[in-house]
């Protein structure tokens, strides 16, 4: 993967996906000398990797420099006897610049450049017979190095061998056999040795430059591979970040934005109406109070803490709730250099929780009303049964009073009042008066019997009224406001719940079996516990009514669990039982197997048990084999 050149802008380079849409300041193009050099480069050469771009610029700078020298030489020939022919090389340097403007690689312009340098130097050697040191001139050492730099080691080797052949073989041969030399102190053997050493120096320069170029290219290749792998990992990470609907943000130690995914940008535009900007604080458009809160959180995170919080944002008439996690970013050595912020939109979950809470309160109210209806039904059954006795006693007393001989006694006393003047003669001589004493005796005996009968009936009537009063009193005691934790004797409370169902159990011939162990008082909400017991007894009654069992039996066991810290209440019946596929859904809201059921009773009972730090469970061997509901409660509750 190629690194971007110095002349590229942020608009020229593709942004990582997590930065697309995030505005940032744009760097300027390369200016000054580099900008002028880039004018002579084609688009592919200008967009080359940094190491190659430097080579391209060096080629352009060299061509410009040599072109300037050629131009100055041509100008100087106007005032000197020098030949203007060497100035023709300026056209070839200009050709080099044209080639760099049109080529996609550096090979052609580099070859033109090196060939022009070599041709100019070699031409000057052979045109001047007194120039004996051409092969060992300093310029000859520059050309192999420049060839390796511009063309690479392989192409430069051919170029170096060509230079060595021309300057250190052909030119010495020319000097030896062609040129007419008359130089004092000239040694031909020494001349050949020097040029042979120069040829070896050519190859040495090529070797050293090639070694440096190969090492640099290897390092550059390794860097490219590392960058390619890094960019691949970055691309995968960016894809992961972009694929999530959660907000993903990276901030520096001052809270300035480094990275933001598309979900963050969408959220930012929705809240603030603009895109986030790199290098700016993420919360700068918030109100001062929120900014201060975030500054405090940033201080905490930079101190090494990890934060988890919920943040609410108002958007018009609606609101957004974010579940935000903030984690510090650690550099080498454990230094905190920034932080990551992850946000999840939990608005829907919060709304669902609100609706669920409202539904729960509604269900509790419905269950409470249902429990009240169950209690009221039991009370009405008991009161109705007692009122039957009251009605019977009242009817008997009324009939007795209708048939009473009190009216005959009143007639007898009226007759005695009329004969009061001669009462002795009337009772002894008058036939009607002689019958009056036996009549009065018979009437008095009958009235005594009537009084005893009516006393018994009135006593029974009084007992019935007392029974009604006790039922109403017991209901009033349980109708107190719920929520108060108090000491409760569980067996006594179970008996009270059974009395509320006593009439229906008796009418349906359901046998009650009580097995109460010696258990301590427990601290619970009496209302909740009574509500659970009433629901369990009601369900057991329905299961027994629908069962074909002749011996309908309801068993209640109270005992302490092993360890003595939990109290177990088992309500067992031998009714219709529960199918295995229904057992898992038994306490689910709205689930019921009864035709007229509403599915609230067991669900609310289970919730009430959890509120009392207890648990309600059920087991059943199967359909037709009955069921056992177990209520487990702590012996020491919240009120202790």
Residues 231-281: tens digit of each pLDDT? 888 788 778 888 888 889 888 888 888 888 888 888 888 888 888 888 888
Q: Could you tell me the end-to-end alpha-carbon distance of the chain, in angstroms, rounded to an integer?
A: 72
pLDDT at 390 over 80: no
Q: Tokens 């162990």 — which residue?
A: 517
3-state secondary structure of 195: helix
pLDDT given at position 1? 30
Indicate the pairing of strand 307-315 with strand 318-330.
antiparallel
Contact 64, 41 (CB under 8 A): no
Q: Which two tokens stand for residue 448?
A: 């005594």
pLDDT at 360 over 80: no
- Average model confidence (pLDDT) across the chain: 78
CA Rg value for the chain: 57
* 469 vs 280: CA distance, rounded Å: 78
pTM equals 0.40
Q: Which of 49-58, 396-405, 444-453, 462-471 is the least confident region?
A: 462-471
Which H helix or E strand runs over 603?
Answer: helix 601-611
Measure CA 495 to chain center.
50
Tens of pLDDT, residue by residue over 131-147, are 666 677 767 777 888 88
Q: Which two tokens stand for residue 278?
A: 């790199």
Give the domains, in start order, of the chain with CATH numbers.
17-235 (no CATH), 244-345 (3.30.450.20), 352-478 (no CATH), 485-634 (3.30.565.10)
CA distances from 620 to 466, 568, 610, 629 (A): 41, 17, 22, 9
Report the b/e string of 490-528 with b at 16+ CB within 10 A. Answer: bbebbebbbbbbbbbbeeeebeeeeebeebeebbbbbbb
Under DSSP, the state recorded for 181 is: -
Q: What is the largest CA-CA distance in the chain?
A: 214
Contact 161, 102 (CB under 8 A): no
Nearest to 282 by CA among 312, 241, 250: 250
């Amino acid at each position: 993967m190629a690194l971007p050149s110095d002349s590229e802008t942020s608009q020229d380079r593709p942004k990582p996906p997590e930065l697309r849409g995030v505005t940032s300041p744009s760097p300027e193009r390369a200016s000054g000398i580099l900008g002028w050099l880039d004018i002579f480069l084609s688009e592919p050469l200008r967009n080359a990797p940094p190491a190659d771009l430097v080579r391209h610029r060096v080629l352009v700078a060299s061509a410009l420099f040599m072109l300037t020298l050629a131009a100055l030489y041509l100008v100087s020939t106007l005032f000197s006897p020098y030949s203007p022919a060497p100035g023709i090389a300026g056209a070839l340097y200009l050709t080099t610049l044209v080639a760099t403007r049109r080529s996609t690689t550096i090979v052609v312009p580099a070859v033109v450049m090196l060939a022009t340098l070599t041709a100019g130097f070699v031409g000057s050697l052979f045109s001047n017979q007194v120039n004996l040191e051409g092969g060992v001139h300093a310029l000859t050492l520059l050309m192999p190095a420049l060839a390796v730099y511009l063309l690479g080691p392989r192409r430069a080797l051919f170029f170096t061998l060509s230079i060595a052949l021309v300057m250190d073989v052909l030119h010495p041969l020319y000097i030896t056999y062609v040129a007419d030399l008359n130089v004092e102190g000239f040694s031909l053997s020494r001349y050949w040795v020097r040029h042979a050493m120069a040829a070896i120096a050519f190859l040495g320069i090529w070797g050293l430059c090639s070694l440096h170029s190969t090492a640099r290219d290897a390092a550059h290749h390794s860097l490219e591979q590392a960058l390619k792998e890094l960019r691949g990992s970055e691309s995968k990470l960016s894809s992961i970040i972009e694929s999530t609907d959660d907000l993903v943000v990276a901030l520096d130690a001052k809270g300035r934005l480094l990275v933001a995914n598309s979900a963050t940008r969408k959220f930012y535009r929705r809240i603030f109406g603009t895109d986030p900007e790199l290098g700016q604080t993420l919360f700068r458009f918030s109100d001062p109070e929120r900014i201060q809160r975030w500054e405090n959180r940033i201080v905490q995170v930079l101190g090494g803490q990890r934060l988890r919080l919920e943040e609410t944002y108002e958007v018009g008439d609606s609101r957004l709730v974010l579940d935000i996690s903030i984690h510090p970013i650690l550099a080498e050595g454990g230094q905190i250099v920034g932080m990551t912020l992850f946000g999840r939109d939990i608005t829907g979950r919060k709304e669902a929780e609100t609706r669920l809470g409202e539904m729960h309160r509604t269900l509790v109210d419905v269950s409470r009303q249902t429990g009240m209806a169950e209690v009221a039904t039991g009370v009405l059954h008991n009161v109705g049964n007692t009122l039957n006795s009251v009605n019977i006693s009242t009817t008997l007393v009324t009939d007795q009073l209708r048939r009473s001989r009190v009216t005959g006694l009143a007639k007898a006393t009226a007759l005695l009042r009329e004969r009061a003047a001669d009462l002795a003669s009337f009772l002894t001589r008058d036939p009607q008066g002689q019958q009056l004493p036996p009549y009065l005796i018979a009437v008095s005996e009958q009235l005594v019997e009537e009084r005893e009968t009516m006393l018994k009936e009135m006593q029974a009537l009084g007992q019935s009224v007392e029974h009604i009063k006790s039922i109403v009193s017991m209901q009033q005691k349980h109708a107190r406001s719920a929520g108060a934790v108090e000491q409760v004797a569980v067996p006594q409370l179970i008996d009270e719940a059974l009395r509320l169902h006593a009439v229906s159990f008796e009418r349906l011939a359901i046998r009650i079996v009580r097995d109460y162990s010696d258990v301590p008082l427990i601290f619970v909400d009496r209302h909740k516990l009574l509500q659970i017991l009433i629901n369990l007894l009601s369900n057991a009654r329905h299961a027994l009514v629908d069962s074909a069992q002749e011996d309908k039996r309801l068993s209640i066991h109270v005992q302490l669990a092993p360890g003595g810290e939990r109290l177990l209440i088992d309500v067992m019946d031998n009714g219709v039982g529960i199918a295995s596929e229904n057992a898992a859904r038994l306490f689910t809201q709205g689930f019921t197997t009864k035709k007229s059921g509403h599915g609230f009773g067991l669900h609310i009972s289970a919730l009430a048990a959890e509120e009392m730090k207890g648990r309600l469970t059920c087991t059943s061997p199967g359909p037709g084999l009955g069921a056992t509901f177990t209520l487990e409660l702590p012996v020491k509750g919240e009120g202790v």
